[in-house]
Amino acid sequence: MKGWIIANKMYHARILERGLNVVDKNMMYENPVRELYQEGLKRGIEVEVLLSQEVNFSLTEKGAFCFFVKGEKRAIPDFVIPRTGSRTDSAAIALYRQLELIGVPMINHADGIIAAFDKFSTAQLLAKHQLPIPKTLFVAEKINLDIIEREFSFPLIVKTWPSSNGDGVFLALDKYNLEDIISTIGRIASNVNVLIQEYISHSRGRDIRVYVLGGKVIAMLERSAADGGYKSNYGRGGTLKKIDRIPEVEELAIRASTALNLECSGVDILYDIDSYKICEVNSAPGFSLVTGIGLNPAAILYDYLFEKNKELCI
């Protein structure tokens, strides 16, 4: 059996920049990719980690197709696990769509990955399904302060994408601060998208990360900022604790994952005064939070993949 893991090129570049001597190229990626690769080997699966740019495919008018990896013709993989997440690009999208068209089992599908990658698309789909989200405004080429002052109250959250791990998220305390943030974003990055969101003060520095797989919650954890800041990301030095299952939060996470057509997701939930709001949905959630409470997310994911696609069972 052969499978592909499509990795995030950003992490691959960081390994190269550090000049680390990694013998197995399949280990030159973020922790979840390495764990999926190693778990696959344990199960006797021939797993290869690839960047979307390394895979090409040809098409003909009669529906024939052919895959090439680094210029060499390859057989169709038995399954694919996309891990591009917030760094999904046009090459990855094209690859995922072709794999779907020919029936290759994947966790997740292209539409879901795109919806999670695009923060405003996420908000649109959640709103369509009447799920609770912070009030959100998409910023076009120029910010309209009249709309913002009329429709929102400061402080506000400013988000850019593509981004991950809390990067590209800013707190605007007033309209002057907001103008400065937008101006700075425009100077340092020309191809980013920006949205404005209501600031949920009751959730400052903490949120709930819910891991959903196949319509079921496999873990629920609370993340808290270590320095009293407003960002709760564990990867930025925050703290983590396992919490008892909250039925309302479980339902929101499952509905959010379903709304975006994701089989595997990490849903971030904010505390509101007497309820909860959905902050973001991630198509390639990190594994460290789950391994931190004694679970093996790579094994859980493979078990799900083979249970759903019994023809893959060895």
Over range 143-166, report the average pLDDT.
81
Specify the domain boundaries for CATH 3.30.470.20 within the chain: 203-283
- Under 8 Å between Cβ of 284 and 82: yes
Instruction: List every span in the chain annotated with CATH 3.40.50.20.
Output: 2-106
Q: Which residue, 201, 217, 283, 288, is CA-closest to 249?
A: 217
The architecture CATH gives domain 135-199:
2-Layer Sandwich (3.30)
Answer whether residue 147 shows pLDDT above 60: yes
**pLDDT higher than threshold 70 for residue 236:** no
Q: Which residues pair with 221 in a beta bridge?
A: 209, 242
pLDDT tier at 11 (50, 70, 90 boundaries)?
Answer: low
* pTM as predicted: 0.89
The secondary structure of 138-185, three-state, reads: EECCCCCHHHHHHHCCCCEEEEEECCCCCCCEEEECCHHHHHHHHHHH
* 312 closest CA partner among 42, 104, 108: 104
pLDDT score at 197: 93
Residue 277 reports pLDDT greater than 60: yes
Give the pLDDT of residue 234.
Answer: 57
Residue position matching structure tokens 């005064």:
273
d(CA 86, CA 75): 28
Class of domain 2-106: alpha beta
pLDDT > 80? residue 116: yes
Locate CATH 3.30.1490.20 in the chain: 135-199
> Mean pLDDT throughout 10-33?
65
Quick: pLDDT tens for 29-65: 788 999 999 999 999 999 999 999 999 999 887 777 8
Confidence category of residue 16, pLDDT binned at 50, 70, 90: low
Q: Is the pLDDT of residue 241 over 70?
A: yes
Residue 310 has pLDDT above 80, yes or no: no
Residue 64's pLDDT is 74
Average pLDDT, the chain: 87
For residues 9-36, give the mean pLDDT.
68
Q: Which long-range contacts (CB under 8 A, 24 or more apart) does 236-242 make?
A: 236/165, 236/166, 240/289, 240/292, 242/293
Domain 203-283 belongs in CATH node 3.30.470.20: yes
Residue-level pLDDT at 198: 93
Q: What are phi and psi of 59, to 5 degrees?
A: -130, 155
Q: What is the pLDDT of residues 68-81, one digit of tens each?
A: 999 999 999 999 99
pLDDT value of residue 129: 97
Task: Work out the average pLDDT over 256-272.
Answer: 96
Q: pLDDT tens across 158-200, in order?
A: 988 765 555 688 999 998 898 888 888 877 666 678 889 999 9
Residue 86: pLDDT over 90: no
